Amino acid sequence: MSHIEKSEQFNLDNIRRQVSEIRTRSAEEQTGDHQAGDINAYARQIAEQFREDNQTPAIIIGQYRLFEFLSLLAVGLAVLFFQIMPGAHPFLTEAAVTIALCGLAIVFLQVADAYQIPILRAPHRFPHRILASWVAAFAVMALALLPFDLNHIYSIRVLGIWFAAGAVFLAVARAVFAYGIRHWARNGVMERRAVIVGGGEPAKELIRALEHQPDNDIRICGIFDDRGEKRSPVMVAGYPKLGTVAELVEFARLTRVDMLIIALPISAEDRILQLLRKLWVLPVDIRLAAHANKLRFRPRAYSHVGAVPMLDIFNKPIRDWDGVAKRVFDVFFSLLALCLLWPIMLGAAIAVKTTSKGPVFFMQKRHGFNNEIIKVFKFRSMYTNMSDPTARNAVTKNDPRVTPVGRFIRKTSIDELPQLFNVLLGSLSLVGPRPHAVLAASHNRVYADVVEGYFARHRVKPGVTGWAQINGWRGEIDSDDKIKFRTAYDLYYIENWSLFFDLKILFLTPFRLLNTENAY
């Protein structure tokens, strides 16, 4: 390895080592940038064009995989239904074999990479992969049934008809889906939206490399760079420079960006780390373009956009089908909780309404996913004329603003139960970092000024309960350490999320709520 390669290898290792440190600290200037919350008018106009949610390729491919399985199953069952000779073969046995064979076909198609975008976009160029997968599924099933005498379990004639019908279906369905992919790509329905960080010649080379990909699904939204026009022109390869990196943080919160691509050489270690300290709080993939680096690592070190190599720095948490699974989890368990807890909620509502003047519910603005402002429902626990929607003044022990009923429902966390409706509406998750009021503060300092990297807890949806809460970090925040520990537990949850972790937190919540020491 040459001296230059050794130097670049050292720089890359150093960057990766320091990435873990960035997760627990963020530059002070990032906090100030967020508070400024200002981007230029042109960048805001571009952001408005990309506010609508898009479907990522992973989601659409997953949906098509399910469609293909169900369709092949329907074809197989239809052949059985119309071709079967009564009494010749047990229908349930043949149906079970049909289901298993469809599952095998999907597995072989996956192994053959037949669900990759290039193959789905142009199936006529890869018919051998599709047909070979279909043949392999039948061959494996035939071998598995040989010891049981295949002809007594499944009609050879019916099997042949299904093989032919399934092959025709795969050819036609994939041709139609290929047209759909091309149409969705043109209309922006199925795309990954990217922002280039860094300008000049490196950004130009990266954009050209991406545009030359025949199956490119990347939509470049713009370029952000701190350097002046002499080193970073206002237009690079036909794309405008929309602002500085500080403005990018706000831009990414106004629009739906999937990926930030840093167009800098690995040797620019200090600059890359400076950028990451600002950008890691965003719920996006962060990649370092590696197409122009002379040093080449093992293939597993890279992800690719087409043939353009990227080094993964940060990944968006709870992405694609993980997000779908978490949403199903939220809806199922929140409906279950409402079915079980509605008598308690009804009793609380009656108690709140009859013991003090004012509405039953209290709505408060809080920070949600990606720092969006959401309205959270709670049972009212304060006297109406003393309520504090901003939460600038935290509730303390024996607080005179809290009603007698409010004191009880706060200690038992019954006041939080209406947030189950927030979960159904989609602004909250059942489990996640607890949402804090927009102006919540510790010793007259907003939390972002107390904890570096505080906004990174907003990379996922906030939750009704969370890892910090079941570990005792709930109630009044009367010291800087309390919000620091809460944030540390929240970041641990984000980095280690799984459905099992959510289930564990949900199960432990009722038991941990018995400790009311810090709940006023």
Q: How do residues 87-109 score in pLDDT, each as one tens digit?
A: 555 667 778 888 999 999 999 99
Tell me if 457 is assigned to some domain. yes
Is 325 in the same domain as 229?
Answer: no
Q: What pTM was computed for the model?
A: 0.78
Q: Are 284 and 259 in contact (CB under 8 A)?
A: yes
The percent of residues above 90 in pLDDT, for the chain, comes to 22
**How far is it, in rounded angstroms, from Cα 190 to Cα 53?**
10
pLDDT for 328 equals 94
Tell me if 404 is assigned to some domain. yes
Tell me if 360 is assigned to some domain. yes
pLDDT for 299 equals 53
Q: Which two tokens stand for residue 232?
A: 């970073």
pLDDT exceeds 50 at position 36? no
Q: Give the domain-ending residue among 282, 316, 350.
A: 316
pLDDT for 463 equals 93
Domain count, the chain: 3
Q: Give the domain-ending residue among 187, 220, 251.
A: 187
Which has more confidence, 10 or 479? 479
pLDDT for 14 equals 55
DSSP E strands: which ranges in 225-354?
235-236, 239-243, 259-262, 285-289, 302-305, 308-314
pLDDT for 351 equals 92
Helix H or strand E segment including 197: strand 192-197
Amino acid of residue 457: R
The helix/strand/coil state of 464 is strand
pLDDT for 515 equals 63
Q: How confident is the model at residue 343 (pLDDT cuts 50, 70, 90)?
A: very high
Is 257 in the same domain as 159?
Answer: no
Is 134 in the same domain as 229?
Answer: no
Is 288 in the same domain as 359?
Answer: no
Is 493 in the same domain as 354?
Answer: yes
CA-based torsion, 87, 90, 95, 100: positive or negative: negative
pLDDT exceeds 80 at position 75? yes
H-only helix segments in 369-512: 404-411, 419-425, 447-450, 467-470, 480-495, 499-512
Give the Å distances, CA to CA, from 34 to 27, 279, 399: 12, 11, 33
pLDDT exceeds 80 at position 396? no
Which has more confidence, 89 or 266? 266
Is 47 in the same domain as 71?
Answer: no
Tell me if 124 is assigned to some domain. yes
User: Span 439-467, mean pLDDT?
Assistant: 79
DSSP E strands: which ranges in 407-492?
429-431, 441-442, 445-446, 463-465
pLDDT for 108 equals 93
Tell me if 520 is assigned to some domain. no
pLDDT exceeds 60 at position 287? yes
The residue with tokens 């092959």 is 167
Is 65 in the same domain as 40?
Answer: no
pLDDT for 393 equals 67
pLDDT for 22 equals 47
Distance in Å from the first CA to the final CA of the chain = 63
The helix/strand/coil state of 24 is coil
Give pLDDT tens digits for 168-190: 999 999 999 988 888 877 776 77
Q: Give the domain-ending residue among 136, 156, 187.
A: 187
Q: Which two tokens stand for residue 273?
A: 């780390």
> Residue 33: which of 253, 227, 356, 315 has the closest Cα?
253
pLDDT exceeds 60 at position 432? yes
125-129, 319-323, 398-402 — which is least confidently predicted? 398-402
**How far is it, in rounded angstroms, from Cα 128 to Cα 517?**
67
pLDDT for 40 equals 80
Which has more confidence, 371 or 516? 371
**How far is it, in rounded angstroms, from Cα 43 to Cα 207?**
19
Helices (H) and strands (E) in the chain, counts: 19, 14
The helix/strand/coil state of 239 is strand
Q: How confident is the model at residue 420 (pLDDT cuts 50, 70, 90)?
A: very high
Q: How confident is the model at residue 498 (pLDDT cuts 50, 70, 90)?
A: very high
Which has more confidence, 512 or 477? 512
pLDDT exceeds 70 at position 319? yes
Tell me if 122 is assigned to some domain. yes
pLDDT exceeds 60 at position 27? no
Tell me if 498 is assigned to some domain. yes
Is 491 in the same domain as 395?
Answer: yes
Please write down the HEC assignment for all residues of 349-380.
HHHHHHHCCCCCEEEEEEECHHHCEEEEEEEC
pLDDT for 200 equals 80
Tell me if 446 is assigned to some domain. yes
The backbone torsions φ and ψ at residue 190, rounded to the nearest 5 degrees and listed phi first, read -115, 100
Dihedral angle computed from the Cα positions of residues 74, 76, 82 and 86, in that order, rounded to the nearest 10 degrees = -120
Cβ-based neighbours of 405, under 8 Å, separated by 6 or more: 348, 351, 352, 355, 356, 381
pLDDT exceeds 90 at position 249? no
Q: Which domain holds residue 204?
A: 3-52+191-316
pLDDT for 425 equals 92
Is 450 in the same domain as 345?
Answer: yes
Q: Are 218 and 192 in contact (CB under 8 A)?
A: yes
46-55, 83-92, 113-122 — which is least confidently predicted? 83-92
pLDDT for 104 equals 93
pLDDT exceeds 60 at position 4? no
**How far is it, in rounded angstroms, from Cα 277 to Cα 30?**
8
Q: Are strands 445-446 and 441-442 parallel, antiparallel or unpaired?
A: antiparallel
5-14, 144-153, 158-167 — which is least confidently predicted? 5-14
pLDDT exceeds 90 at position 50? no
User: Span 327-350, mean pLDDT?
Assistant: 94
pLDDT exceeds 50 at position 126? yes
CATH number (domain holding residue 218): 3.40.50.20
Amino acid of residue 218: I
Is 381 in the same domain as 455?
Answer: yes
pLDDT for 455 equals 81
Is 210 in the same domain as 226?
Answer: yes
How far is residue 231 CA from its own chain's centroid?
A: 35
Is 152 in the same domain as 12?
Answer: no
Cβ-based neighbours of 256, under 8 Å, separated by 6 or more: 50, 51, 52, 53, 54, 193
Cβ-based neighbours of 88, under 8 Å, separated by 6 or more: 155
**How far is it, in rounded angstroms, from Cα 453 to Cα 278?**
9
pLDDT for 6 equals 45
Rounded to the nearest 10 degrees, the angle between the axes of helix 269-279 and helix 245-254 is 30
pLDDT exceeds 60 at position 348? yes
> Residue 487: which of 440, 455, 445, 439 has the closest Cα?
455
38-52, 107-121, 252-266, 298-312 — which is least confidently predicted? 298-312
Q: How confident is the model at residue 29 (pLDDT cuts 50, 70, 90)?
A: very low
Q: How confident is the model at residue 42 (pLDDT cuts 50, 70, 90)?
A: confident
